[in-house]
Amino acid sequence: MTGDLLRSIAEAAAAELVPGETLQLAARMVDIPSPSGNERALAEMVAGFMAENGLNGRCQVVDGDLCNAIGRLPGLGGGAELMLFSPLDTAFAGTGAADGPFLGTPMRDDQIPVAHVEGKILTGLGAHNPKGHGSAAVMAVICLARAGAPLPGDVVVALAGGGMPTNLPPGDGRSGRRIGHGAGCAFLLEQGTRPDYAIVLKPGPPAWEEVGLCWFRVTVRGLLGYAGTRHVVAHANPILAATKVIEDLEAWFAEYSEANASGTLRPQGSIGCIRAGWPEKPTFIPEVCEIYLDLRTTPRAGPAEVRRQFATAIESIRAAHAGLDIGWEMILAVPASCTDRKNWIVGAAIRAWERMTGRSFVAGRDGSGATEANVIRSWGIPTARFGLPPPPEPLPRSGQFSMGEVHADSLDALVRALIDAAVDTCGRPLAELSTESERGPRC
């Protein structure tokens, strides 16, 4: 197809979008809670919505209530297959019982799975990420179906469960199950959804490389104690000792980030959990304080190298605080990944982004967010990532960490951009895009 014909196909599909329609779907998705490993109700709704709107929609059960929603728009044959991917699950449960002790009560409206629409702004848990992105992916392919787009290649929309960076919580009772870190994504790739290219919908401009992550547990030991005898027996509170370790780790994170910055990435480190003692009996001083942290990695420094760097950092902390009993272990590792910057799908994502925003693309330099793109690339699929454009007006929590606010205009703009990328990629013979070796991911 000529460039003019491809442009006309994309414009015809974009014309099928009813303004605000994507916001309505996103609101329906927000109203269905979907914490990691419990996406069945949402997956069934989205799969049914796709089936009602011209796609081959189905709910794919991964394990128990961990589910995916998959839709396919078959092509005419001979073209590349493109997957538009988004997670289904939210990082938080959105209930006071599960999140209140950590988010505070009353919880904010953007932390609760209840959709609230005021004007063109939708608020609710996951409204922006991932449900805003997921709704845009679904609507883009539905618009292509409505327009009867004559594309040689298939377009697949895959919304997967188990995508958030989480393990089973302590005492969950489902020992041996995997609920996060791209569990649903890995399953759908294993079970026959194997596109030539993929676009992952996550916040930010086009990217072709992702950080990975390593989790570490650091233990600081002291002596079991009691408030009534701390002045007459040996006393060594590991919680107080842990504060010294925490301060030194925080200082080291900046050094680590600077030393490992490369390409478009600047990997960060963060302490996310401290565990010690008994909330119901603070009279007793625990013997151990645990520190849990996330250390991001790049394709140029894998988990083994990062583990060595962390070991060196801990040795320095021990030397600075003689007498502290510090132990540590790496408890999780997800490698970083990248796709060749010259790969077709990266160019298609950039072209779609530039048309959507009306300005030239400038590559980022400080990326530290991990996505399921790492899982997809590990299966040899070239993958690009981009997400919603900035809203036309500031949102109530602009500048804060919130995944629960989205603007209708941003959603509809992303739908049109995804239509552009899909037509650009699936509207051409596969052989026109690249050779097999060029399609493969390379760093």
Model confidence over 279-334: pLDDT tens digits?
A: 999 999 999 999 999 999 999 999 999 999 999 999 999 999 999 999 999 999 99
| Closest residue by Cα to residue 86 from 25, 163, 24 | 163
Domains of the chain, with CATH numbers? 3-210+337-439 (3.40.630.10), 212-334 (3.30.70.360)
Site of tokens 């988004």 = 86
Where residue 130 falls among pLDDT bands split at 50, 70, 90? very high
Q: Is the pLDDT of residue 176 over 80?
A: no
Residue 113 and residue 32 in contact, taking contact as beta carbons nearer than 8 Å: yes
Q: Is the pLDDT of residue 436 over 50?
A: no
Distance of CA 363 to the CA centre of its chain: 19
Q: Is the pLDDT of residue 185 over 90?
A: yes
Q: What does the H/E/C string look like for 56-120?
A: CCEEEEEECCEEEEEEEECCCCCECCEEEEEECCECCCCCHHHHHHHHCCCCCHHHCCCCEEECC
Residue 401 and residue 103 in contact, taking contact as beta carbons nearer than 8 Å: no
Where residue 51 falls among pLDDT bands split at 50, 70, 90? very high
The predicted pLDDT at position 443 comes to 63
d(CA 403, CA 226): 43
Instruction: Record the pTM.
Output: 0.95
Where residue 437 falls among pLDDT bands split at 50, 70, 90? very low
Q: 332: part of which helix (H) or strand (E)?
A: strand 325-334
Residue 332 and residue 213 in contact, taking contact as beta carbons nearer than 8 Å: yes
Radius of gyration, alpha carbons of the chain: 24
Site of tokens 């988990």 = 303
What digits encode the pLDDT tens for the residues 198-245?
A: 999 999 999 999 999 999 999 999 999 999 999 999 999 999 999 999
The predicted pLDDT at position 376 comes to 98
The predicted pLDDT at position 170 comes to 76
Q: What is the DSSP letter of 224?
A: -
d(CA 11, CA 4): 11
Mean pLDDT confidence for 423-429: 96
The predicted pLDDT at position 120 comes to 96
| Closest residue by Cα to residue 17 from 412, 411, 356, 389 | 412
